[in-house]
Structure 1
Amino acid sequence: MKLNLRALDAFRHTLQGGSATAAARELGISQPAVSRLLARLERDVGFELFWREKGRLVATPEARILADEVDLALGRLDRIATLARNIGDGAVGELRIVAPPSLVEGPLAPIVASFLSQNPQLRLSISPRDVETANQLIATRAVDCGFGRLPVDHPGVRAERLTINETVCVLPPRHRLAKLETIGATDLRDENLILLGQGRRSRAAIDAAFDRAGVAPRVRLETQTIGSACAFVANGVGIAILNELMARTYLRGGMQLRPFRPRLQHIYGFLTAADAPQAKVTQAFLAHCAASFRKLGNAAE
């Protein structure tokens, strides 16, 4: 036996409203249309569903037995419809992300938190990975999206500019160079420096700036994360030269930022697989990230 869903819905609304007229009003159809649907359902199930009593439809005992199962079945369908709408809106599901560790621990954390608060049924996994691994995971669609510094040198990755910011000097509290509006390589000639390790594009650009200025940098300490670099600044080891957006997360105890000159910019993008369309939830997350960076004043328009 195959039952008609519209007829079951008419049956449910008739029970709830007590008449075919009330059911028609709820369903947005005519009263005769409801009567035809009820008649069809009676033919399909093989017994009467309603008796007429003083102008009202009264459910038969058989109809009352059927009613609970109809409510359960149609309730499940309602939940499926709601789930489908939410999936279409990007409100449920799972989003898998890769990103540089300093971005995850810094500005990305509040952005992800606010996105999750707006989408309570969404599950998100985020993995800090190095550039090469992140690009491979994105290109092979092992993850849905990621973040990385631009330009990206991988044919399987599509990049959309997201945020741009400058390189800054992170100064310990009450440092003499805090009186300067900007700090160049010559200002740092006799200063102990904290730099991120060799092999990074940002480190190569900093080394080139010192070379052009004819200054040999006094590298007191090398480290691998922006958080640790700022921790050493706070403990008086020296001055760190870092990405401004990342460094702001770790400022404490009177530490100050001054722009480094010449200007060295960091451009980060939102990364997805080049050969695949973005899912609704990925599109929603990109829009949220772009809006968040605009509020921070770091959007790469």
Structure 2
Amino acid sequence: MKLDERHLIQLAAVVQTGSVTGGADLLGMTQPAVSRTLSTLEKRLGEPLFFKGQRPLQPTPLARALADQGNAMLSASRKASETVKFFREGKAGSVRVGGTPFFMDALISSMTAEFQNSFPEIRVDQSYGYVRDLREAIHADRIDLAICPIDILGEGSGLVFEEILPGRNVVACSVLHPLLNKRKPTARELLEYPWVAPPAGSPLYADLHSILLSLGATEIKIRYSGGSLASVINYMTRTNALTVLPHSVVFAYRKDRSLTALPFKIPHPDRALGILRPADAPYLPAVDKYAQHIVGGFQDLRHLIKRHEDAVVWGG
């Protein structure tokens, strides 16, 4: 025998409240409509649903068993309604974000944690890549947005880019590096030390080679290359090697007392860190709320980074 799910939900509401009127109010229906449902259900079952003459209404064993099924449906219906409500308010859903490894590990992962402290029902799936890979991932609908450094976004790309931090590179080293004893280290002194190269294909890799050539290097001493941010930091804290990193990444580790920047000016790259999204993307409240959180986090951060750059890195 196939029963109408709506009839079971109405029966559950009446059993839960102990009256037809209460059940109707719980479901936002009229009392006559619920009464008709109960009458139809009794005729279909061929037996009564409630014991006669008892108030509040007392369900029969069969009615109670059916009401249990109706309660499960009612609960699922309410949960579905709540899911829709939370989704529309940007309090539930998922965000697929990709980004360049060093920025994601140093800055974005902690911002994501702060975001989910406020919106625990939003799932965030993070992946890594550089600009070319991230653009392909967006067009293939594998990610909703990317956080990466970009120099030029050509017309007709189908993407929009929102800058969140200007490009700023520094020469990074261990907090115990000998060159920190010098007020103004020279290019020649920098070239006496080995260097750590970021992963090949990253913007930083090109920046490193460009900077070393501008310092007059004829032979580039690359001692270690291709590691993750954690491995680069672990390596540098145990050696006197140098590397080129975004100042924001070095700034993020200032409290760890593991990494710092030398007071040596190098050219800033002609690019900016920002959020890359499809130009014609459908409105996804959770994704939009996540992007707003990242933008807001960098609005606070960029002033602190600039102050640190002026006061510490360049010594005022």
TM-score normalised according to structure 1 size: 0.74
Answer whether contact 2:196 2:243 (CA < 8 A) is retained: yes
**Aligned partners of 1:123, 1:254: CA distance in 2, in Å?**
32
Contact 1:138 1:273 in 2 (8 A): yes
1:282 aligns with 2:287: yes
Distance between the aligned counterparts of 1:208 and 1:55, measured in 2?
Answer: 87
User: Is the partner of 1:71 in helix, strand or coil?
Assistant: helix
Give CA deviations for 1:235-284 in whole Å, capped at 9, x if unaligned: 34343332112234556556432465366266211122233224233212
Q: Which residue of 1 aligns with 2:238?
A: 235
Match of 2:274 in 1: 269
In 2, distance between residues paired with 1:149 and 1:262? Answer: 18
How far apart, CA to CA, are the structure 2 residues paired with 1:55 and 1:231? 74
Residue 186 of structure 2 is matched in structure 1 by: 187
TM-score when normalising by structure 2:
0.71
What corresponds to 2:125 in structure 1? 125
Q: Verify the 8 A CA contact 2:158 2:279 in the aligned structure 1.
A: yes
Alpha carbons 1:293, 1:299 under 8 Å: kept: no
User: Are positions 1:257 and 2:261 aligned together?
Assistant: yes
Output the CA distance in 1 between the equivalents of 2:77 and 2:210: 64
**Relative to structure 1, is the Cα distance of residues 137 and 61 closer, same or farther in structure 2, using a 3 angstrom cutoff?**
closer
The root-mean-square deviation of aligned C-alpha atoms, in Å, is: 3.9
Partner SS state of residue 151, structure 2: coil
Which residue number in structure 1 is paired with residue 178 of structure 2? 175
Match of 2:222 in 1: 221
Shift in Å at residue 11 of structure 1? 3.4
Number of residues paired by the alignment? 290
% identity of equivalent residues:
19
**2:143 aligned counterpart, secondary structure:** coil
* Superposition map of 1:286-297 within 5 A: 286-297=291-302
Q: Sort the Cα spacing of 1:277 and 1:97 in 2 relative to 1 into closer, same or farther, 3 A.
A: same
Q: Is the Cα contact below 8 Å between 1:234 and 1:253 reproduced in 2?
A: no
Partners of 1:94 and 1:272 in 2: CA distance: 15
CA distance in 1, matches of 2:207, 2:257: 29
In 2, Cα distance between equivalents of 1:299 and 1:71:
54
For residues 201 and 8 of structure 1, do their structure 2 counterparts lie closer, same or farther at Cα, with a shift above 3 Å needed?
Answer: closer
CA offsets, 1:144-198, max 9 Å, x none? 2222112353513322222335322324315344564xx6xx7333223636468
Distance 1:200 1:17 in 2: 64
Q: Residue type of the partner of 1:264? A: H
- Are the aligned partners of 1:139 and 1:273 in contact in 2 as well (CA < 8 Å)? yes
Whichever structure has more strand as a proportion of its residues is 1
* Structure 1 stretches lacking a partner, 5+ long: none
How many Å separate the matches in 1 of 2:127 and 2:240?
30
The runs of 5 or more residues in structure 2 that have no matched partner are: 306-316
Given the superposition, is the C-alpha separation of residues 99 and 152 from structure 1 closer, same or farther in structure 2, using an over 3 Å criterion? farther
User: Which residue is equivalent to 2:109?
Assistant: 109
